Structures are given as C-alpha cells and as structure tokens.
Structure 1
Amino acid sequence: MLLCFSSSHRTADFDLLERLERRAPAVKAALAEHSEVISGSVVLATCNRFEAYLDVDEPLTAAVAVSAETVIEAVSAASGVDADELRASSTVICDQGVAEHLFSVSSGLESVVVGEGEIAGQVRRALESARTAGTVTHDLERLFQGASRTSRGVKNRTGITTAGRSLVRLGLDLAESRVTDWAATRVLLVGTGAYAGASLAALRDRGVVDVRVFSPSGRAAKFALSHEIVPVEAADLVAALAGSDLVVTCSAATDPILTAAQLTEAMSLPGALERRLVIDLGLPRNVDPAVAQLRGAELLDLETISRHAPLEELNAAQDARLIVDAAAAEFAAQSAEQSVTPALIALRSHVFDVLDAEIERARARGDSSEQTEAALRHLAGVLLHTPSVRARELARSGGAQSVVDAANTLFGLDVDDVAAPRLRAVGDESAAS
C-alpha cells in the first residue's frame, strides 16, 4: 500500500518546515530502519513542503492508522519535532490518493506559486536520491515515473507554468512598490546555486545592472566570472551590505548567513544607505528574523511571500487539474489490473498443468506429435486470452474481487482475496489548509 506523510505550506508554518528540511537525511535513515512496516521510501524536501512517500507492508484498512502512526513517530524521533506537533501540522494520504497528490505536486498545482517550474526537477531528484539509497520499490518507481509523465503533460499542454510565477519573481513583484528605479538599484546576491541564477535573470529582466554576489561557501568568484558580475569576499560583506539597496539571499546554507548584528554594523558605516530591502528565499532561512525589527531594514521571507501569492490562473489551472485527475485515474486502473495478476497467473498455471498432464498421457499411449502439442498449447493460449482481457477490464471497473471469486469457484483455485477497499486519506489536506 502506498502512503504519503505530507507537511507543507498549506498545513504548517515555515519554522516547522525548516526544522524538517534540516533533518531530512536523518528522517530517510529512520524510515529505512522500520523495514518491518516500510518496504521503501522516497523523501521530498523542498522550500515549502516536506513529504515522505512510502510503500508499506499492510494492505488492510484497519492498519492504515497504525502505519501512519509508525511513520509519524519515526519522523518525530529523527527530526526532533514533537509527534503531536507533527500530527497537528501534517496530513497522511494513502492508497490511490497518493498518486493524485504527487501528480498534483509535481505539476506545480500545490506550490506556493501555482505552476512554478522548479518542483518537477525536485521530485525527479528525490527519486534519484532514493534509487541511490536503494529504498525504491516497484510501486514507488511506478508512482514517481507517472508523476514525471504527468508534469510533462501539464507543462506541454497547458499555460500553467507561464501563468504561475516562481518564488523569485513573486518576491521581486512584491518589492516593486519599494523600488523607484531598477536600473539604479544596487543589489547584493547571496548564494550561487540554481535559485541564484534564477534570481539574477529575474533582476536583469527588470533592468538591474549593478549586482554583486557573496557566497558563504566561497564560490562567489567563479559564479561572478560566469555571470559577469562582481564577487564579494567574506571580509567585505558588511561593507557590501552598507552599499546595497536590495539584498536577495538564496543559499542552501543551514545556518543564517545575515544576522541583525551584521546589518546593524553595516548601517552604522559612514555613507551607508539609510534603507534597504532584504528578500530571503532560503529554506532554512538565510536571514535572522530579527533583521525585520531594525530601523531602515525591511524583510520579505518565504512566509511573507506565500501570503501574497496570486490566485491561480483559472483556465490554466483547471486544464492542468483535468490532466492530473486523468493520470491519477489511469494509475488507479493500472493498479487494479495488477491486483488480479495473481489470479490470472494461477489460472494460466492451472490450464497448462492440465494440458501438460494430458500430453504426458498421450505420449505414454504413443499417439502424440510435436505438431499436435504445439497446436494444443496455442489453443490454450487463445482460450485464456479473452478471460484475461475481461478480467483486467473488470478490475479497472472495480470488479477485481469477482475475478478472484470466479477463478476460485470455477477452477478450484486458492487465490487470496483482493485487498479490501481502503481509505483514501487519513486527514484531508484541503480541510487543513
């Protein structure tokens, strides 16, 4: 059974998401230790969600709550977040609801900014990381491959990615009212990763020409050379802050890079600008929240940006949702087909066992030939074809159990029952948002 533990911007504050993101490696290890319940796992940790997709060894409805509680306790122990806090700020989705949720996530429909393009790559990298760790099962692989196909379909067939805007551009949109002339704005960029490149492109689209870059990991010079901007060394960071109208932070560092003490020192330097806007796109936070209390400094962080995210573009979002729903329905249908596979295998084995026995008896009587045997085996395959097709059709329409019952009754087989219908979700994300 598939199960998803989800804590996102819809259900939790950014402080909690930050703590979970920092402890993601420990959570992955903790989930792997519960092999008696969890067959496989893929952990997705992004700037606005923390999710664990699991393949659990329990098909019964009554055990869903037990499995969910095992996951919550494991995440709590590994992250240091109290279990009660996790329960209050997360949802647990199970069975076919997991596909609908992940397909929606990977298509950008659940992002802070609907249609953001970064999430599809993050979902793909989460799968790759799990493959490397050896925690991917067949069902999880199929789930994530389906998510990738769905996100590509949404991107290619709707305008959702252009209707929505990235966090970077939304942050700059919110800064628009504070900036009188982008061309005259002096910017300090903190970070040299993918978000830094996106931030620089967005700044240049607005006409910014004066950009310097600082990297806590020492990569500023290389990034500056490839992007034709000016690097800032650690010793010059405070001076660079003093001369910047806008500071954009987007580093993957786990500790704050800019503190209130640094900003206070920068603002006290001779010739320092009186006011500056700081946009913190980091998770964990790159900027000490106390900066917001300093006179002459304004801070926009991810939590603030998410509260101002625009409403989704209705047509594009509706088209994308239809694609996601169709893909999730197909995933469910394929899963239902797989549920009758044991019955079909048992039926095929039964028929060919009977055929083999009859052929052996014919050989013993001396009245068998290779051509006759080949014809009989072909005939058996032809006779099995229609029942196999019909069985899969019945499974897709919810009749999987009737296939098993018929096979057991008519042919005296002993195929286990199809798992009973299961709850779609324990907790409803839409209700929690």
Structure 2
Amino acid sequence: MMNILNARVTYRQIPIHMLERFTFKDTASIYRMKDKYGFDELLILQTCNRVEVYAASSKVDDPSSLLDIWHEYLNLDREVLEKSVELSKGRDAILHLFRLASGLDSLVVGEDQILGQVKRALENARKSNGVDSYLSMLFEKAVRVGSKVRASTNINKGSTSYGSIAVKLAEEHLHGLYGRRVMLIGSGEAASMVAKPLLNKGIEFIVTSRTMERAKAFSEKVGGKPMEFDHAMSELDKVDALFIATTAPYWLITYERMVEVMEEKEKEKKGMNNMDGGGVEQGPSSAHVPSLLLLDLSNPSTVEPRVDSIDGIKVIRFDEISSMVERNIGARMKEVSEAERIVREEVDAMEARLRRFEVEPVIDSLFRSVDRIRQRELEKALSMLNLDERSKQVVEQMSYAIVESILSIPMDELRKASENGDVEFIRTASRLFKYGLEEQYNHTR
C-alpha cells in the first residue's frame, strides 16, 4: 500500500519571521535523495506562511520520518522539529491538502494565492523528478477541488485580510499608490499581510523593523527594501503612506515627531513651488489628498492619539480596518460549512480512487497471466486445424472476446471492492483465479 505522508510548519505553529529557519533553499537536491529516506515520491510546498513536505511511500508509514530531511539539510535539532512541525498521514494528509488548496487553512480564509502556489509546487517537483503518479494525481485533484470550492461558494469574495483592506484604503485616499513612497514598519504576520497586496500590485516599499536583521529576513522571505530603523524614522518626511504593523510598549509614532515631519514636508513643498516659479497648479481633488497617510494595524495602537489632529495627516486606525474585515469575515464564514462539505466529499472520492489505483497493476497482471494462457491454448488449437489466414484471425479474435467477456464483470467487481476497501473480497478473488493475484496485491499493500 502506498502511504501518503505530510509534515508541515506554518504560521499556526511559529511566527512567520521564524519560518526562514525551516525553508529549503535547494529543493532539487532533496528530490534527488528521496530514495535515501525510503520515499517513492516527494513534494515540497513553500510559501510566506508555511513550509510543507509531502511524501508517497510503499515502505515508510510514519510521517515523523520526514523530519529527517529538515534535520539533515538544515541542521535543525530534533526536539525543535518535534515541537514545531505538525504531522499527518493517509486521509488526514489528503484532507489537509484539499482544505489548503480551498483556502480553508490559510491565514486569510478563502484567499486565492494558495491555489497557484500548489500548482507551482507540483510543477517544480515534476521538473526535478520528485513526483510520479501518486502525488501528481493527488495535487492535480487538490487544484480541482480548490477551484470547485471557489466556484461553488463565495468563500473568496470580499477581502478578509487586514493588509489588503489597508492597502485598498491607502489607494482610495491617495488616489493610487504608484509613484508614491510607501513604508512598512514591522516584520511579523501583520506586516506580511500588508506586503503581499503591495507586491501583487507591483508597488515598491521600504520595510523596517527594530533590528536590521529582522528587516532583512522579512525582505528576503516576503519582499520590500530593508532600511535601518533610525534611518527610516528620519525619512518620514519623504513618505506618502506609512503602514504600522508592529507592537511596542510605547508610542512609536509620536505627536512631536509628526509635527516635525509635517514642518519638513511643508518646507520641501515651498521649495518645490519656488523652483517652479511661484506655484504649482493642483488638480481638482488634490486638496483632499493627505500629505501623509498613516495606516495603523498595531493593536494596541503605537500611534499617539493626538497625531489625528495634525493638519495634513490622515490616520486610519485598527478599529476602522477591523470593522471592515469583520463584515467580510462574517460573509465568508457563512460559506465555510459548504466548502468543508465539498472538501469531505472530494476526500472520500480521492480515497476510493487511490484504492482503485492500487489494484489496477494487480488487475493488469491478472489479464497478462490469462492472456498467456489464451495465447498458449490458441496456438495448440491452430496447430490441430488446417485453417486459412482469414479463419485463423476469426478464431484469434474469438479467443480475445471470450477472455474479455469472462473477466470484465469480475474485474469490475474487483475494482469496486478495492474502492470500498474490501480486502476479503480481493483475497477470495485471488484464491479463485490463482494467477498470482494475491501475491501481487500483497506486494502493493
């Protein structure tokens, strides 16, 4: 029997900025070594929020064996791995994959990006000969299930990402972010949720954190141009949109500093006007565009309340963003139960298909055994008869038809028994036919 195994470390187990420790740089070399670990097939799925390893093995049935890959390639301690990595196998592994492709295990429920990531993971594994028939079939099905869930429900309608909504609000208030100077403070989950929609829209941004190491790690893992924190704070007068997605036990954005920033912005604006000969014509709606937009995703807030009163600054706080998210989450959560029902049905169908897939080589072996008998007896009969070529062809076709007619119904029943997990029926069939069926089936088990 081919065992389906899964080991995963995700945002549910550790902070996103720590996922870098579990990420594989050279997956191709791991695929080449899959036999060493006893795996017939291997597939690695890596995103900003997760690192997952899937395996199909006829020899190994313990998913904890997948920890060896992390241990050997990344030199991670076994104790750390056992605490951080979640394991599953068989139906549970298939259920997890289908839920994942459907957006039910995502940080943002129903998000679409994961579907493309599942496809790319399969493509990469194929290029490196990591997968064969089992995981290919499983992941192709997962993509179809994910597409079906989204087509049959509204689970991906209305953004439920704080980051996506914050970016959308920034675009509305600044009449677009292209050409604007955007800065992101933070390197955790909230910052990741802001960075993704910015990257998807092709918007460049600076990312800063209280340590340069964190900013660099976030930049490499997610995106953005890293900048040292104090330097970034000194550059606020040049920023149009500032996303604050971090926590602190003090006001990170103070009233006094923002007053200074706006004074510096005003000086720069006057300087530009003087260079242009006394005035720059403003568009009809430019008066409504803030000089600095602050989008505060920190909870509790790290933006001093008095900042709201400074002319030229627009502050959008967490509560406003949260209320929009909650409305959309409520709408999506109504769709989750239907999505889960579809996923469970598809898992049942997939399990039946895998069981049938396992018995197909057995049936094929049986047909070949019977065909050898047919061929032997046909040659005997033809040697006793004085037939012309046309008559020999008729007799040969008749022999094929007899075998097909006799075996078609029993073999269909054998496939059904396999789909239903009826091992006893298969063993009984093997005793009835005695063409090596039992030995072949036990080998696949």
Q: What TM-score, normalized to structure 2?
A: 0.67
Cα 1:168–1:316 shift into 2, 3 Å: same
Matched, 1:118 2:117: no
Which secondary structure does the structure 2 equivalent of 1:42 belong to? strand
Equivalent-residue separation in structure 2 for 1:128 and 1:167 (angstroms): 31
Q: Provide the residue aligned with 1:389 in structure 2.
A: 412
Equivalent-residue separation in structure 2 for 1:301 and 1:17 (angstroms): 22
Letter paired with 2:33:
E
Cα 1:195–1:164 shift into 2, 3 Å: closer
Task: Give 1:349's match in structure 2, choosing from 356, 365, 368.
Answer: 368
Equivalent-residue separation in structure 2 for 1:70 and 1:48 (angstroms): 23
Q: Provide the residue aligned with 1:2 in structure 2.
A: 4
Equivalent-residue separation in structure 1 for 2:90 and 2:419 (angstroms): 15
Matched, 1:265 2:231: no
Equivalent-residue separation in structure 1 for 2:443 and 2:163 (angstroms): 46
CA contact (8 A) 2:71 2:78 kept: yes
Percent of residue pairs identical = 19
Matched, 1:97 2:92: yes
Kindly state the Cα deviation for residue 10 of structure 1 after the two structures are TM-superposed: 2.2
Which structure has the larger Rg over C-alpha atoms? 2
Matched, 1:337 2:356: yes
CA deviation map 1:242-293 (0-9, x unaligned):
xxxxxxx9875679713322234336xxx689x954248xxxxxxxx8x886
Q: Provide the residue aligned with 1:145 in structure 2.
A: 140
Task: Give 1:358's match in structure 2, choosing from 349, 372, 377.
Answer: 377
Which secondary structure does the structure 2 equivalent of 1:113 belong to? coil
Count of residues in Structure 1 that have an aligned counterpart in Structure 2: 353
Q: Provide the residue aligned with 1:230 in structure 2.
A: none
Letter paired with 1:142:
M
Task: Give 1:189's match in structure 2, choosing from 153, 164, 182.
Answer: 182
Q: Provide the residue aligned with 2:272 in structure 1.
A: none
Letter paired with 2:342:
I
Kindly state the Cα deviation for residue 197 of structure 1 after the two structures are TM-superposed: 8.4
Which secondary structure does the structure 2 equivalent of 1:50 belong to? strand
Equivalent-residue separation in structure 1 for 2:386 and 2:194 (angstroms): 77
Which secondary structure does the structure 2 equivalent of 1:6 belong to? strand
Task: Give 2:61's match in structure 1, choosing from 64, 67, 70.
Answer: 64
Alignment of 1:392-431 (within 5 A): 392-416=415-439, 418=441
Equivalent-residue separation in structure 2 for 1:335 and 1:412 (angstroms): 23
Equivalent-residue separation in structure 2 for 1:89 and 1:171 (angstroms): 31
CA contact (8 A) 1:26 1:79 kept: no
Equivalent-residue separation in structure 1 for 2:27 and 2:6 (angstroms): 14
CA contact (8 A) 2:205 2:224 kept: no
Letter paired with 1:29:
S
Cα 1:48–1:262 shift into 2, 3 Å: same
Q: Which runs of 5+ in 1 are unaligned?
A: 203-210, 217-236, 238-248, 281-288, 423-433
Cα 1:416–1:379 shift into 2, 3 Å: same
CA deviation map 1:48-89 (0-9, x unaligned):
11101122241xxxx423xx3432122133234322112112
Equivalent-residue separation in structure 2 for 1:262 and 1:292 (angstroms): 21
- The two structures, once aligned, show a CA RMSD in angstroms of 4.1
Alignment of 1:66-215 (within 5 A): 68-163=63-158, 165-166=160-161, 168-170=163-165, 182-183=173-174, 188-189=181-182, 198-199=197-198, 213-214=204-205
CA contact (8 A) 1:31 1:71 kept: no
Equivalent-residue separation in structure 2 for 1:212 and 1:412 (angstroms): 66
Q: Which runs of 5+ in 2 are unaligned?
A: 185-192, 209-217, 255-294, 302-317
Matched, 1:328 2:347: yes
Letter paired with 1:35:
D
Matched, 1:372 2:410: no
CA deviation map 1:182-229 (0-9, x unaligned):
3499963369xx987843899xxxxxxxx984479xxxxxxxxxxxxx
Cα 1:190–1:41 shift into 2, 3 Å: farther
CA contact (8 A) 1:40 1:137 kept: yes
Which secondary structure does the structure 2 equivalent of 1:161 belong to? coil
Equivalent-residue separation in structure 2 for 1:86 and 1:355 (angstroms): 57
Letter paired with 1:8:
T
CA contact (8 A) 2:102 2:145 kept: yes
Equivalent-residue separation in structure 1 for 2:96 and 2:443 (angstroms): 22
Equivalent-residue separation in structure 1 for 2:126 and 2:4 (angstroms): 17
Which secondary structure does the structure 1 equivalent of 2:35 belong to? coil
Task: Give 2:16's match in structure 1, choosing from 11, 14, 17.
Answer: 14
Equivalent-residue separation in structure 2 for 1:212 and 1:45 (angstroms): 23
Decide which moves more: 327-336 or 155-164: 155-164
Equivalent-residue separation in structure 2 for 1:380 and 1:276 (angstroms): 76
CA deviation map 1:307-366 (0-9, x unaligned):
x88556333111111121111111111111122223312321232222212111112212
Q: What TM-score, normalized to structure 1?
A: 0.69
Equivalent-residue separation in structure 2 for 1:167 and 1:73 (angstroms): 37
Kindly state the Cα deviation for residue 391 of structure 1 after the two structures are TM-superposed: 0.9
Letter paired with 1:381:
E
Cα 1:370–1:11 shift into 2, 3 Å: same
Letter paired with 2:377:
E
Letter paired with 1:265:
S
